[in-house]
Amino acid sequence: MNKDFPLQDFEKDDENSELYEHYRIVADKGQDLLRIDKFLLNRIENVSRNKIQQTAKAGNILVNGAEVKQNYKIKPNDVVTVVFSYPPRIVEIKPEAIPLNIVYEDKYIVIVNKQADLVVHPGHGNYDGTLLNALAYHFKKTGQQIENSYGYLAHRIDKDTTGLLLITKDELSQTVMARQFFNHTIERKYQALVWGDFEEESGTITGHIGRSLKDRKVMSVFPDGKFGKEAITHYRVLERFGYVTLVECQLETGRTHQIRAHMKHIGHPLFNDNWYGGDRIIKGTSFTKYKQFIDNCFQILPRQGLHAKSLGFKHPHTGEQLFFESDLPNDISTLLEKWRGYIQSRSFEG
């Protein structure tokens, strides 16, 4: 096997783990002319001819930077890049009548404004009651014939993160979207309430993100790049409350818990994020009155203060540029009003 392409040399976006994989292969100097589908079958383990055909149809196979079809013949020193989609392997999804806020739907895609406390897909400890169970019910109720009955996730957001999520209705559409996510041409903006104030109005956080070496359920930032995958988060201040700040975060990459881990890394954990230390007083005094105020805030927002506010992408079939925005959920909106009132009262007292 070419030393430029060990089997483990692929990039898998952590946020979209098992949703897509990227391979880069450099053909040998002595490579004989060979159809690219046969070439990939020889070079990549556990990939089917059908998967390669679908990936080529989606435009996700490139040679020297240009899209090619499955009958393209590989030549010496060709550089091949491939983005495969890999839907989660779920044996059975039981339709469940779980309320969904569907903001857009057509023949190929559906956009959901996800509520808090809703797991996206079944997994360990969450075998039902998920977004996919709700979609299976929605598709069945509306008489839609979906390939797998519940659709294909294009990306994920956490259980307690609210906001916009894209699901495709066929695997080809998911494959097309996989390339957009991998190339970072998807426009995703979040709003987050974080602890502390910022000296600057905007900034960029960099630093590889990977599983913590001490606690595998959380992610850590590795500035030296020895572990994890590259992660880039751009942020700007929207509103200041002295002790906490509302910021807008735009993702250039999509790692698991990226905003949560990056914000903790720079000393601004998300408000009430119990996995990353935001569920205690980080800024402010420990006086009884302030502590009671914060406890009331935690009761209003019993989760991390994070909302997927907007989502922009090219439609996987029409190529039309689409853009969606969602309002902040009631718990975050109510909390922001409470902070505004608190800051105003302190200003009046002063």
DSSP 45-95: TT--HHHHHHHHHTT-EEETTEE--TTPEE-TT-EEEEEEE-----S----
Res. 17: pLDDT tops 70: no
Confidence grade of residue 89 (pLDDT, cut at 50, 70, 90): low
Count helices and strands in the chain by DSSP H and E runs:
7, 19
Residue 59: closest CA among 80, 83, 87: 83
Q: What is the mean pLDDT of residues 309-332?
A: 97
Check pLDDT > 60 for residue 330: yes
- Annotation marks residue 295 as catalytic: no
pLDDT at 60: 93
Q: Give the containing element (helix H, strand E) for 261.
A: helix 258-265
DSSP type of residue 88: -
Among candidates 129, 51, 125, 132, which has minimal Cα distance to 90? Answer: 132
pLDDT-wise least confident of 83-87, 178-182, 234-238, 248-252: 83-87
Mean pLDDT of 155-160: 92
Q: pLDDT tens for residues 62-80?
A: 999 999 998 999 999 999 9
| 85-111 average pLDDT score | 88
d(CA 286, CA 294): 10
pLDDT (average), residues 26-45? 91
pLDDT for res 247: 98
| pLDDT band per the 50, 70, 90 thresholds, residue 18 | low
Contact 102, 96 (CB under 8 A): no
Q: What is the mean pLDDT of the chain?
A: 89
Using CA atoms, how far apart are residues 266 and 244, in angstroms rounded to an integer?
14
128, pLDDT greater than 70: yes
Edge-to-edge strand ranges of the sheet holding 20-26: 10-11, 20-26, 79-85, 61-63, 66-67
Structural domains present in the chain: 10-85 (3.10.290.10), 102-182 (3.30.2350.10), 187-349 (3.30.2350.10)
What number is the average pLDDT over the span 130-148? 94
161 and 307 Cβ atoms separated by less than 8 Å: yes
Q: How many CA atoms lie within 13 A of 290 on its CB side?
A: 11
Positive or negative, the CA dihedral 326, 331, 336, 337 is positive
pLDDT surpassing 60 at residue 132: yes
What share of the chain in percent tops pLDDT 90? 72
Question: How much is the pLDDT for 21?
Answer: 83
* pLDDT-derived band at 90, boundaries 50, 70, 90: low
Out of 13-17, 60-64, 152-156, 304-308, which region has the weakest mean confidence (pLDDT)? Answer: 13-17
Which of these ranges, 104-108, 163-167, 170-174, 327-331, has the smallest mean pLDDT? 170-174
Single pTM value for the model? 0.87
Q: How confident is the model at residue 303 (pLDDT cuts 50, 70, 90)?
A: very high
pLDDT at 87: 63
Instruction: Tokens 């002295």: give the residue.
Output: 242
DSSP 126: B
Q: Quick one: tokens of 260? A: 């949560």
Mean local confidence (pLDDT), 131-138: 96
What backbone phi and psi angles, to 5 degrees, belong to 67?
-65, 140
Rounded to whole angstroms, how far apart are CA atoms 230 and 223? 9
Whether 230 and 222 have beta carbons less than 8 Å apart is answered as no
CA distances from 61 to 34, 85, 256 (A): 15, 12, 26
Joined together, the tokens standing for residue 265 give 């890394």
More confident residue, 163 or 17: 163
Binning pLDDT at 50, 70 and 90, where does residue 99 land?
Answer: very high
Catalytic residue among 158, 160, 170, 273: 158
Secondary structure element (H or E) that encloses residue 323, with its range: strand 321-325
